[in-house]
């Protein structure tokens, strides 16, 4: 195999390293690219589809999946749907457009403002939720935005004739920084086992535009929001902690001995435990002789499962 690219291979335009890559999180980006591209191709083929679509936010995660999907099925078979809300930052849309232009893939713009405002209301006009909705806080609003985007994607999946590709990374999944049945809803997810730092590494490797790799990660649910400020962590540090805690099975004592603050260890452990439900399919009460997920166990892509 060829030499493994690291952060130092992507220095940017002489303005310092493109991103911080903790050494233990460095992966062979060439293999990651090969596996994820093959994965997309296989998931589609086994389900009887040639096309895929995804919500393109202007951030690095969905940009990376767009690059991988374009490589897997060709840009003609990829639809990127831009779904800004009226408070979304202008750079989100312009960065998303840059991805679409670079790849030459299909795109669609759906302004979700009327959908969200139609429920919570806007200005002083109540929406479907009634007067109470006018006072909805950012978490409720953010969750609804994510679920409206999901609804749009699944509607477009019918008109486009493709499967929805997931764009969530391992870091946000493990700490539960996702909306259930919102941004985490998808037919398959090629990057769900890559930490944010690894997403950056692969994104740089496949040529995601530098402006997207450089900018601060944000759910863009309100102006000026960034993930790291909202949650009070830095991704490289959180990724390192999760890697040693989850992948390398280190105990709390060992993590503290490695230099992680005890308060941080406890907080992240709590986040992981309390979000367990978001990572699993809902439980079914066992009653019959054979129950899906318990003792009726078939490959998702079993023979005959493709739509044609």
Partner 1 sequence: MQPLRIALVQMAPRLGLVEENLALHHEMLGRAREAGAGLVVFPELGLTGYLLQDLAAEVSMRRDDPRLTELAASAAGLSAVVSFVEESDDHRLFIAAALLEEGSVRFVHRKLFLPTYGLFDERRFFAAGEVVRAVDSRLGIRIGIAICEDFWHMAVPETLAMDGAQVLVNISASPGRDLAAINEVGLGTAGSWRNLMRTYAQLTTSFAIFCNRVGMDETISFWGGSEVIAPSGDALFSAPFFDEGLFLVDAELGDVRRERVALPLLRDERPELHLRELRRILAERTQMSVDDAGEPVPGVEAGPPKGASPAADASPARRSERRVR
- Residues in touch with partner 1 (CB under 8 A): 1, 4, 6, 23-24, 26-28, 30-32, 34-35, 38-39, 42, 296-303
Tell me whether residue 49 or residue 120 sits nearer to partner 1 (CB atom).
Answer: 49
Measured at the CA of 278, the angle between CA 229 and CA 228, to 5 degrees, comes to 10
Please report how close the Cβ of residue 169 comes to partner 1 at its closest, in angstroms.
14
Tell me whether residue 39 or residue 222 sits nearer to partner 1 (CB atom).
Answer: 39
Please list, in sequence order, all residues whose beta carbon lies within 8 angstroms of the beta carbon of residue 272, skipping any fewer than 6 positions away.
174, 175, 176, 242, 245, 246
Helix/strand/coil for 29:
helix
- 240 closest CA partner among 227, 253, 259: 259
Q: Do the beta carbons of residue 178 and residue 184 sit within 8 Å? A: yes
Tell me whether residue 109 or residue 294 sits nearer to partner 1 (CB atom).
Answer: 294
Helix/strand/coil for 177:
coil
Please report how close the Cβ of residue 84 comes to partner 1 at its closest, in angstroms.
32
Please report how close the Cβ of residue 43 comes to partner 1 at its closest, in angstroms.
8
Tell me whether residue 6 or residue 161 sits nearer to partner 1 (CB atom).
Answer: 6
Helix/strand/coil for 243:
helix
Altogether, the residues listed in the chain come to a count of 308
Please report how close the Cβ of residue 231 comes to partner 1 at its closest, in angstroms.
26
Count CB neighbours of 244 within 10 A: 18
Tell me whether residue 4 or residue 262 sits nearer to partner 1 (CB atom).
Answer: 4
Q: Do the beta carbons of residue 174 and residue 194 sit within 8 Å? A: no
Q: Could you write out the DSSP letters of every residue in 267-298?
A: HHHHHHHHTGGGGSPPP----SSS-BTTTB--
| H or E segment and range at residue 68 | helix 60-73
Tell me whether residue 85 or residue 195 sits nearer to partner 1 (CB atom).
Answer: 195
Tell me whether residue 39 or residue 154 sits nearer to partner 1 (CB atom).
Answer: 39
Q: Report how far apart, in Å, the C-alpha atoms of 305 and of each of 19, 43, 47, 166 are.
A: 42, 12, 7, 20
Please report how close the Cβ of residue 301 comes to partner 1 at its closest, in angstroms.
6
Please report how close the Cβ of residue 72 comes to partner 1 at its closest, in angstroms.
12
Count CB neighbours of 286 within 10 A: 11
d(Cα 27, Cα 18) in Å, to the nearest integer? 16
d(Cα 72, Cα 68) in Å, to the nearest integer? 6
Tell me whether residue 283 or residue 303 sits nearer to partner 1 (CB atom).
Answer: 303
Please report how close the Cβ of residue 216 comes to partner 1 at its closest, in angstroms.
25
Please report how close the Cβ of residue 276 comes to partner 1 at its closest, in angstroms.
19
Tell me whether residue 30 or residue 106 sits nearer to partner 1 (CB atom).
Answer: 30
Please report how close the Cβ of residue 203 comes to partner 1 at its closest, in angstroms.
15
Count CB neighbours of 213 within 10 A: 19
Q: Do the beta carbons of residue 56 and residue 96 sit within 8 Å? A: yes
């Amino acid at each position: 195999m060829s030499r493994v690219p690291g952060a130092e291979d992507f220095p940017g335009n002489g303005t310092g390293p493109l991103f911080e890559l903790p050494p233990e999180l460095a992966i062979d980006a060439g293999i990651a690219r090969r596996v994820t591209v093959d994965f997309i191709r296989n998931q589609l083929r086994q389900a009887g589809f040639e096309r895929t679509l995804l919500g393109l936010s202007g951030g690095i995660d969905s940009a990376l999946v767009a690059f991988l999907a374009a490589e897997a099925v060709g840009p003609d078979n990829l639809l990127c749907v831009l779904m800004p809300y009226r408070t979304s930052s202008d750079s989100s849309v312009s960065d998303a457009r840059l991805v679409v232009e670079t790849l030459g893939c299909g795109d669609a713009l759906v302004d979700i403002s009327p959908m969200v405002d139609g429920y919570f209301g806007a200005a002083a006009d109540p929406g479907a939720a009634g007067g109470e909705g006018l006072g909805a806080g950012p978490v409720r609003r953010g969750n609804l935005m994510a679920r409206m985007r999901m609804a749009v994607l699944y509607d477009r999946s019918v008109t486009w004739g493709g499967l929805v590709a997931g764009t969530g990374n391992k870091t946000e999944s493990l700490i539960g920084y996702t909306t259930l049945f919102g941004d985490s809803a998808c037919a398959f997810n090629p990057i769900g086992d890559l930490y944010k730092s690894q997403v950056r590494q692969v994104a740089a490797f496949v040529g995601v535009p530098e402006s997207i790799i450089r900018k601060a990660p944000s759910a863009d649910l309100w102006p000026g929001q960034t993930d790291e400020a909202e949650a009070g962590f830095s991704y490289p540090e959180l990724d390192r902690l999760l890697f040693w805690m989850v992948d390398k099975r280190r105990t709390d004592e060992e993590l503290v001995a490695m230099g992680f603050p005890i308060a941080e260890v406890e907080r992240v452990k709590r986040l992981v435990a309390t979000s367990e439900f978001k990572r699993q399919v809902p439980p079914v009460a066992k009653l019959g002789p054979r129950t899906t997920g318990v003792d009726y166990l078939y490959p998702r892509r079993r023979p005959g499962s493709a739509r044609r």
